[in-house]
A and B are shown apart, each in its own frame.
Chain A
Amino acid sequence: MEPNTARPNADALDFRPQATYRIALSGVFLAVPFALHHVLERDAALGLLSVAFVLVLAANALHSRHSRQATLLPALTLMPVIMLFTSVATLQLQEIGLLWCFPAILTIYCTVPERWAIGGNLALLAIQIPILWHVIDPEIATRGVATLLAASLFTGILVRVISRQQLHLNQAIVTDYLTGCLNRVTLDERVHEAVRDARANDRPAALFALDIDHFKRINDELGHAAGDRVLRHVGDRLLEQRHPGEHVFRTGGEEFLWLSPGVDAQQAGRRADALRRAIAQSHPLGDRHVTASVGVALLAPHDTPEGWTGRADAALYDAKGSGRDRFAVAA
């Protein structure tokens, strides 16, 4: 078992913390003069709201500065203040309030998780549209509504497209491109997690190390294309047998690792044999027999994650040593 490689430098999967920091910070500078203006004009409602707005922006900037994951802080603080501020501003200052709605829409989408942002935007539009009809002449109000809708839609589209692309990219990063199994990127994390969960809930867990027998020979004699076909085929069989909550990794050339939380000794033997049989009974290369050996290790009370995978590997060597196309359970 090779020690795990570092996770790629792509933890920051959500653009919101970084965007929140920069937007909140620039927002503070942009909003301060107007807040001061309202305070000096002794406009109580708007003065109070705009000061609150600046403070909330500053708090969000500080909070998001070093965080890598989006939190609900902007949704619970920034969004309500924005709603209140834009509503009061449009009621009291008409066009001016409408103008502030545009940066507000963007700020919500950039700082708040997508569903909340969509909800927030719908609420903002639902509040603004009647007010606009009430306070501004229809010619402008129509355009106000249309452009607010356009801005909200365009930003929503942008955020949606980005989220989907980042999801796909992240999936591609953790997936083995050949077999569709997981690759090693998340292996360490998953095994540690399984050990933690099993201990916390006092449940069993099993690890299966699987290796295709005589794979090098297939590669050398039939070529890499045939080898790849066998790997894809084995990956497919394994993924078919996967239960919810289980993880199948391709850990090396012809090595796979199967992580089964909740599987006890009795089930583990059955599962290992089922895996072995699924591969032995399929014929990716026609006449030529393709088999695999399996090593099973049940999580022992004093296992470290590394020790656990090591025992599964040792059991795999046992299975190989005693003739292949079989499984062995670690001592």
Chain B
Amino acid sequence: MAAVQTDFRPQATYWITIAGLVLITPFAVYQATIGRGVLSALGLGILLCLIGNAWHCRRIGRVGLLAVVTQMPLLIVFVLIATHRLHEIGVLWCFPVILAIYCMVPERWAIGGNLLLLALQFPIVWQVLEPAVAVRACTTLATVSLFTAILVRVISRQQRALHQALITDHLTGCLNRVTLEGTLEAALGHAAQTGQPATLFALDIDRFKRINDEAGHAAGDEVLRRVAQVLLEQCRPGERVFRTGGEEFLCVLGRIDERAIGERIGAWYEAIAAARPLPDREVTVSVGVAVLRPGETADEWTGRADAALYEAKDGGRDRFALAA
């Protein structure tokens, strides 16, 4: 499944750069022709910075700190100097600058940058404009900054909630398969870098079909939820629990030795038995465990965990098997 982009900034950066080039270029050229060296140099700097930043952002697929350390200071300095020298004109440019900062820079940095900009801009505005206009200028600048911050805040929260809904299995609260591949690849990469192999647990509820057929789907769902709850509760930071199919779960854990594997599974068994998902019958699970081998692909790794799971099932269920 194609990755779904949840941050608006990379795309917004790209389009705002294009719009910015069209709108700013004539003024930068004009400033140069009438001999305003500093402002035209700054304008040119901003143009180059916009292009470099958009290119960088496209290349890495997300907003980096490049915009924070280059673009934002440059824009702020430009607006301050422009206000100091050209008065109203500088204030006017401040509005698109506020918007651009929020669209191109990560939220916290954008808020910080905006506060700095307003703190520096207000005294200059008071100095260069008559009070009636200065009050309105400060108010409208603060308003635009506040409204944009509100918009960005509301959006970020919604995008996070949507993304969470996308990667979560709605019945059990585990992760669904959407992020499975990425997680396995990350574990492979981490192992290659550090030499610390991750461990995969393939877990399957025993005779789940029978539970569903005999006790009903509602009972089956309750069993899934209880088992998932146990797995999630015992999950430590950095570990992931996926529901990969009907009654199948996959847990990706870090490096643990053989004794710890047994202990971990023992703890699951105890907790599942204590949870008593069904009043009238025992619910058990079988587990296949595979420790990542050097050079193995994700498919081979999950294949070995699955094979171990079958072995545990064949061996009589309610047990675990370590992959060869």
Contacts and interface: CB of A to CB of B under 8 A. Distances in A.
Contact of B146 (A26, A144, A155, A178): A26
Contacts of B260: none
A161 B12 contact: yes
B221 A169 contact: no
Contacts of A23: 147, 150-151
Interface string A157-195: 110111001101110110001100000110000000000
B246 A139 contact: no
B100 interface: yes
Do most interface residues of chain B lie in helix, strand or loop, or is the interface mixed? helix
Contact of A253 (B23, B171, B246): B246
A41 to B, nearest CB: 11
B123 interface: no
Contacts of B6: 165, 169
B143 A165 contact: no
Interface string A86-113: 0000000001101110110011001000
A154 B158 contact: no
A40 interface: no
Interface stretch (A3-11, A76-84, A205-213): A3-11
A26 B140 contact: no
A10 to B, nearest CB: 4
Nearest to B310: A220
Given A10-B162, A169-B162, A154 B132 contact: no
Contact of A150 (B19, B88, B140, B306): B19
A-B CB proximity, top 4 nearest: A8-B165, A150-B96, A177-B1, A103-B143
Given A106-B147, A166-B162, A169-B6, A177 B11 contact: no
Given A96-B132, A147-B95, A169-B6, A154 B103 contact: yes
A23 B292 CA distance: 52
16 contacts: A9-B164, A10-B164, A13-B158, A15-B158, A99-B137, A103-B143, A147-B93, A151-B95, A151-B96, A151-B144, A154-B100, A158-B8, A169-B162, A173-B166, A225-B299, A253-B245
A262 B193 CA distance: 59
Contacts of B19: 150, 153-154, 157
Nearest to B224: A2
A9 B221 CA distance: 19
Contacts of B137: 99
Interface string B266-286: 000000000000000000000
A60 interface: no
B147 A150 contact: no
Contacts of A151: 95-96, 99, 144
B165 A10 contact: yes
Contacts of B93: 143, 147
Interface string B7-23: 01001100110011001
Nearest to B103: A158
A151 B217 CA distance: 55
Given A8-B170, A30-B143, A177-B1, A147 B92 contact: yes
A170 B162 contact: yes
B8 A173 contact: no
Nearest to A30: B143
Interface in B151-165: 151, 154-155, 158-159, 161-165
A38 to B, nearest CB: 12
Interface in A208-237: 220, 223-225
B254 to A, nearest CB: 24
A118 interface: no
Interface string A22-35: 11001100100010
A158 B12 contact: yes
Nearest to A136: B88
Interface in B76-98: 88-89, 91-93, 95-96
A130 interface: no
Given A15-B154, A157-B16, A165-B5, A99 B165 contact: no
B103 A157 contact: yes
Nearest to A169: B162
Contact of B15 (A95, A110, A146, A157): A157
B215 to A, nearest CB: 13
B139 interface: yes
Nearest to B150: A22
Contact of B170 (A5, A13, A15, A155): A5
Contacts of B218: 3
Contacts of A19: 150-151, 154
A44 interface: no
Nearest to A139: B89
B20 A169 contact: no
Contacts of A18: 154, 158
A140 interface: yes
Contacts of A157: 12, 15-16, 19, 103
B92 A144 contact: yes
B178 interface: yes
Contacts of A123: none
Given A15-B154, A106-B144, A2 B89 contact: no
Contact of A146 (B8, B23, B164): B23
B182 interface: no
A252 interface: yes
A1 interface: yes
A140 B165 contact: no
A12 interface: yes
B8 to A, nearest CB: 5
A18 B159 CA distance: 13
Contacts of B70: none
B123 to A, nearest CB: 18
Interface in A250-264: 252-253
Contact of A169 (B143, B150, B163, B306): B163
